[in-house]
Amino acid sequence: MSEVGLAVVGVTACNMQLGLHPFNIVGEKYLLAIADATQSWPLVIPALGHCPAEVVLSRLDGILFTGSPSNIEPHHFDGPASDEGTHHDPKRDATTLPLLKAAIDAGVPVLAICRGFQEMNVVFGGSLHQKLHELGGFIEHREDKTKSVEVQYGISHEVQIEPGGLLHDAWGRSSAEVNSVHTQGVDRLGVGLRPEAYATDGLIEAFSVRNAKNFALGVQWHPEWKALDSPFYTAIFEAFNKACQRRAASRVK
Protein backbone atom coordinates (compact mmCIF):
# COMPACT_ATOMS: atom_id res chain seq x y z
CA MET A 1 0.00 0.00 0.00
CA SER A 2 1.45 3.33 -1.04
CA GLU A 3 1.59 6.11 1.55
CA VAL A 4 0.54 8.58 -1.14
CA GLY A 5 -3.10 9.43 -0.52
CA LEU A 6 -3.14 7.31 2.62
CA ALA A 7 -6.11 8.23 4.79
CA VAL A 8 -6.32 7.45 8.51
CA VAL A 9 -9.45 5.68 9.74
CA GLY A 10 -10.31 5.31 13.40
CA VAL A 11 -11.50 1.84 14.47
CA THR A 12 -13.41 1.57 17.75
CA ALA A 13 -12.19 -0.85 20.40
CA CYS A 14 -13.94 -2.81 23.12
CA ASN A 15 -12.99 -2.80 26.79
CA MET A 16 -12.53 -6.38 27.96
CA GLN A 17 -11.10 -8.08 31.01
CA LEU A 18 -8.41 -10.61 30.10
CA GLY A 19 -7.05 -12.33 33.16
CA LEU A 20 -6.23 -9.78 35.84
CA HIS A 21 -6.14 -6.74 33.58
CA PRO A 22 -8.58 -4.74 31.42
CA PHE A 23 -7.62 -4.52 27.75
CA ASN A 24 -8.76 -2.48 24.79
CA ILE A 25 -9.10 -4.86 21.87
CA VAL A 26 -10.20 -4.80 18.24
CA GLY A 27 -10.93 -7.81 16.05
CA GLU A 28 -8.17 -8.12 13.48
CA LYS A 29 -10.73 -8.59 10.69
CA TYR A 30 -11.75 -4.92 11.04
CA LEU A 31 -8.16 -3.71 10.89
CA LEU A 32 -7.42 -5.90 7.87
CA ALA A 33 -10.53 -4.69 6.06
CA ILE A 34 -9.33 -1.09 6.40
CA ALA A 35 -5.71 -1.91 5.55
CA ASP A 36 -6.49 -4.22 2.61
CA ALA A 37 -9.81 -3.03 1.15
CA THR A 38 -9.19 0.73 1.29
CA GLN A 39 -6.40 3.21 0.73
CA SER A 40 -6.39 3.89 4.45
CA TRP A 41 -4.59 2.93 7.63
CA PRO A 42 -6.49 1.85 10.79
CA LEU A 43 -5.94 3.64 14.08
CA VAL A 44 -7.50 2.08 17.18
CA ILE A 45 -9.76 4.31 19.30
CA PRO A 46 -9.76 2.98 22.88
CA ALA A 47 -12.94 2.55 24.90
CA LEU A 48 -11.85 4.41 28.01
CA GLY A 49 -15.30 5.73 28.88
CA HIS A 50 -14.60 9.19 27.45
CA CYS A 51 -13.11 10.65 24.30
CA PRO A 52 -11.94 14.16 23.33
CA ALA A 53 -14.08 13.98 20.21
CA GLU A 54 -13.17 17.33 18.69
CA VAL A 55 -9.44 16.62 18.89
CA VAL A 56 -9.73 13.02 17.68
CA LEU A 57 -12.03 13.83 14.78
CA SER A 58 -9.78 16.63 13.56
CA ARG A 59 -7.07 14.02 12.97
CA LEU A 60 -9.17 11.31 11.28
CA ASP A 61 -10.48 10.83 7.75
CA GLY A 62 -13.17 8.34 8.75
CA ILE A 63 -14.32 6.06 11.56
CA LEU A 64 -15.32 2.40 11.50
CA PHE A 65 -17.61 1.52 14.40
CA THR A 66 -17.06 -2.19 14.94
CA GLY A 67 -19.10 -5.17 15.97
CA SER A 68 -18.59 -6.71 19.39
CA PRO A 69 -19.57 -9.67 21.59
CA SER A 70 -21.17 -7.10 23.93
CA ASN A 71 -24.58 -5.46 23.74
CA ILE A 72 -25.48 -1.81 24.35
CA GLU A 73 -26.85 -1.35 27.85
CA PRO A 74 -30.63 -1.07 27.36
CA HIS A 75 -31.05 2.04 29.50
CA HIS A 76 -29.58 3.95 26.55
CA PHE A 77 -32.76 3.23 24.56
CA ASP A 78 -35.25 2.91 27.43
CA GLY A 79 -35.37 -0.85 26.98
CA PRO A 80 -36.14 -3.44 29.66
CA ALA A 81 -33.25 -4.74 31.74
CA SER A 82 -31.11 -7.38 30.04
CA ASP A 83 -31.19 -10.99 31.13
CA GLU A 84 -28.67 -11.89 33.81
CA GLY A 85 -25.30 -12.72 32.31
CA THR A 86 -25.69 -10.50 29.22
CA HIS A 87 -22.32 -9.17 28.14
CA HIS A 88 -22.20 -5.37 28.33
CA ASP A 89 -19.38 -2.86 27.84
CA PRO A 90 -20.34 0.40 29.57
CA LYS A 91 -16.99 2.04 28.79
CA ARG A 92 -17.56 1.38 25.10
CA ASP A 93 -21.08 2.81 25.32
CA ALA A 94 -19.74 5.93 27.03
CA THR A 95 -17.08 6.32 24.34
CA THR A 96 -18.76 5.41 21.09
CA LEU A 97 -22.29 6.77 21.48
CA PRO A 98 -21.24 10.43 21.83
CA LEU A 99 -18.35 9.95 19.40
CA LEU A 100 -20.62 8.58 16.69
CA LYS A 101 -22.98 11.54 16.87
CA ALA A 102 -20.05 13.97 16.95
CA ALA A 103 -18.47 12.33 13.90
CA ILE A 104 -21.63 12.58 11.83
CA ASP A 105 -22.22 16.18 12.92
CA ALA A 106 -18.62 17.03 11.97
CA GLY A 107 -18.91 15.43 8.53
CA VAL A 108 -16.44 12.63 9.23
CA PRO A 109 -17.28 9.55 7.08
CA VAL A 110 -18.76 6.75 9.19
CA LEU A 111 -19.21 3.05 8.50
CA ALA A 112 -20.98 1.25 11.36
CA ILE A 113 -21.05 -2.55 11.51
CA CYS A 114 -23.25 -4.82 13.69
CA ARG A 115 -22.94 -3.32 17.20
CA GLY A 116 -21.88 -0.10 15.49
CA PHE A 117 -25.08 -0.24 13.42
CA GLN A 118 -27.08 -0.68 16.61
CA GLU A 119 -25.17 2.20 18.23
CA MET A 120 -26.13 4.43 15.32
CA ASN A 121 -29.80 3.56 15.72
CA VAL A 122 -29.68 4.27 19.45
CA VAL A 123 -27.82 7.57 18.96
CA PHE A 124 -30.67 8.78 16.73
CA GLY A 125 -33.32 7.81 19.27
CA GLY A 126 -34.10 4.32 18.05
CA SER A 127 -34.58 1.16 20.11
CA LEU A 128 -33.51 -2.46 19.80
CA HIS A 129 -35.01 -5.91 20.04
CA GLN A 130 -32.67 -7.65 22.48
CA LYS A 131 -33.45 -11.23 21.43
CA LEU A 132 -34.90 -11.56 17.96
CA HIS A 133 -35.09 -15.35 18.21
CA GLU A 134 -37.56 -15.14 21.10
CA LEU A 135 -40.03 -12.86 19.33
CA GLY A 136 -41.32 -15.01 16.49
CA GLY A 137 -41.77 -13.79 12.95
CA PHE A 138 -38.06 -13.47 12.23
CA ILE A 139 -35.68 -15.81 10.46
CA GLU A 140 -32.68 -17.09 12.43
CA HIS A 141 -30.15 -14.29 12.48
CA ARG A 142 -27.74 -15.88 14.97
CA GLU A 143 -24.69 -17.89 14.00
CA ASP A 144 -24.44 -21.57 14.87
CA LYS A 145 -21.71 -21.51 17.51
CA THR A 146 -21.09 -25.23 17.13
CA LYS A 147 -19.80 -24.63 13.59
CA SER A 148 -16.45 -23.36 12.39
CA VAL A 149 -15.91 -19.62 12.07
CA GLU A 150 -15.91 -20.04 8.28
CA VAL A 151 -19.45 -21.41 8.46
CA GLN A 152 -20.59 -18.87 11.05
CA TYR A 153 -19.54 -16.00 8.80
CA GLY A 154 -20.67 -17.66 5.60
CA ILE A 155 -23.64 -16.46 3.57
CA SER A 156 -26.85 -16.69 5.57
CA HIS A 157 -29.63 -14.80 3.81
CA GLU A 158 -30.48 -12.23 1.16
CA VAL A 159 -31.17 -8.55 1.70
CA GLN A 160 -33.31 -6.35 -0.52
CA ILE A 161 -31.62 -3.03 -1.20
CA GLU A 162 -33.63 0.17 -1.43
CA PRO A 163 -33.11 2.28 -4.57
CA GLY A 164 -31.52 5.71 -4.37
CA GLY A 165 -29.43 5.14 -1.26
CA LEU A 166 -25.72 4.86 -0.45
CA LEU A 167 -25.81 1.07 -0.58
CA HIS A 168 -27.55 0.91 -3.93
CA ASP A 169 -25.19 3.53 -5.34
CA ALA A 170 -22.22 1.45 -4.19
CA TRP A 171 -23.52 -1.93 -5.37
CA GLY A 172 -25.79 -1.00 -8.25
CA ARG A 173 -28.18 -3.90 -7.65
CA SER A 174 -31.41 -4.46 -5.77
CA SER A 175 -30.31 -7.45 -3.69
CA ALA A 176 -27.26 -9.11 -2.19
CA GLU A 177 -26.34 -12.07 0.00
CA VAL A 178 -24.92 -11.46 3.46
CA ASN A 179 -23.77 -13.25 6.58
CA SER A 180 -25.77 -12.97 9.80
CA VAL A 181 -24.14 -13.04 13.22
CA HIS A 182 -26.40 -11.05 15.54
CA THR A 183 -29.01 -11.52 18.25
CA GLN A 184 -30.32 -7.97 18.52
CA GLY A 185 -31.99 -5.92 15.81
CA VAL A 186 -33.80 -2.69 15.07
CA ASP A 187 -37.11 -2.27 16.85
CA ARG A 188 -37.90 1.44 16.47
CA LEU A 189 -35.86 3.15 13.77
CA GLY A 190 -34.00 6.26 14.87
CA VAL A 191 -35.21 9.69 13.77
CA GLY A 192 -33.47 10.84 10.60
CA LEU A 193 -32.31 7.39 9.51
CA ARG A 194 -33.16 6.09 6.03
CA PRO A 195 -33.64 2.33 5.58
CA GLU A 196 -31.18 1.04 2.99
CA ALA A 197 -31.76 -2.74 3.09
CA TYR A 198 -34.20 -5.26 4.54
CA ALA A 199 -33.84 -8.95 5.38
CA THR A 200 -36.40 -11.35 3.95
CA ASP A 201 -38.37 -11.14 7.23
CA GLY A 202 -38.68 -7.36 7.00
CA LEU A 203 -35.98 -6.56 9.56
CA ILE A 204 -34.02 -3.40 8.73
CA GLU A 205 -30.46 -4.54 8.00
CA ALA A 206 -28.91 -1.29 6.77
CA PHE A 207 -29.60 2.41 7.02
CA SER A 208 -27.99 5.75 6.29
CA VAL A 209 -28.32 9.16 7.92
CA ARG A 210 -30.61 11.50 6.01
CA ASN A 211 -29.08 14.88 5.26
CA ALA A 212 -25.69 13.82 6.63
CA LYS A 213 -22.77 16.04 5.67
CA ASN A 214 -20.79 13.00 4.56
CA PHE A 215 -20.96 9.22 4.13
CA ALA A 216 -22.82 7.70 7.11
CA LEU A 217 -23.89 4.08 6.61
CA GLY A 218 -24.75 1.34 9.09
CA VAL A 219 -25.05 -2.37 8.22
CA GLN A 220 -26.13 -5.22 10.47
CA TRP A 221 -24.03 -7.86 8.72
CA HIS A 222 -20.22 -8.17 8.70
CA PRO A 223 -18.72 -6.94 5.41
CA GLU A 224 -15.28 -6.83 7.04
CA TRP A 225 -15.16 -10.65 7.00
CA LYS A 226 -12.85 -11.51 4.08
CA ALA A 227 -13.94 -8.25 2.47
CA LEU A 228 -11.90 -8.80 -0.68
CA ASP A 229 -13.54 -12.18 -1.35
CA SER A 230 -17.02 -10.68 -1.74
CA PRO A 231 -17.69 -8.11 -4.48
CA PHE A 232 -20.59 -6.77 -2.41
CA TYR A 233 -18.51 -6.32 0.73
CA THR A 234 -15.69 -4.81 -1.30
CA ALA A 235 -18.11 -2.32 -2.85
CA ILE A 236 -19.15 -1.12 0.63
CA PHE A 237 -15.55 -0.48 1.64
CA GLU A 238 -14.77 1.18 -1.68
CA ALA A 239 -17.64 3.63 -1.17
CA PHE A 240 -16.47 4.33 2.38
CA ASN A 241 -12.90 4.73 1.14
CA LYS A 242 -13.89 7.32 -1.47
CA ALA A 243 -15.43 9.46 1.25
CA CYS A 244 -12.36 9.04 3.47
CA GLN A 245 -10.05 9.97 0.60
CA ARG A 246 -12.03 13.14 -0.10
CA ARG A 247 -11.78 14.15 3.54
CA ALA A 248 -8.04 13.35 3.60
CA ALA A 249 -7.49 15.55 0.56
CA SER A 250 -9.44 18.41 2.11
CA ARG A 251 -7.56 18.18 5.41
CA VAL A 252 -4.12 18.63 3.82
CA LYS A 253 -5.03 21.71 1.79
DSSP-derived secondary structure for 77-120: GTPPPPPTT--B-HHHHHHHHHHHHHHHHHT--EEEETHHHHHH
- Reply yes or no on whether 222 is catalytic: yes
- Reply yes or no on whether 28 is catalytic: no
Pick the catalytic residue from 14, 51, 73, 114: 114
Beta bridge partners of 208: 194, 217
CB neighbours of residue 82 within 10 Å: 16
Helix (H, G, I), strand (E, B) or coil at 83: coil
Pick the catalytic residue from 73, 143, 205, 222: 222
Beta bridge partners of 8: 41
Helix then strand then coil, % of the chain, to nearest 5: 35, 25, 45
Q: Does residue 167 contact residue 218 with C-beta atoms inside 8 Å?
A: no
Query: What is the C-alpha to C-alpha distance for residues 118 and 129, in angstroms, rounded to an integer?
Result: 10
Q: Does residue 127 contact residue 192 with C-beta atoms inside 8 Å?
A: no
Q: Does residue 45 contact residue 63 with C-beta atoms inside 8 Å?
A: yes
Pick the catalytic residue from 119, 141, 224, 244: 224
Residues with a catalytic annotation lie at 114, 222, 224
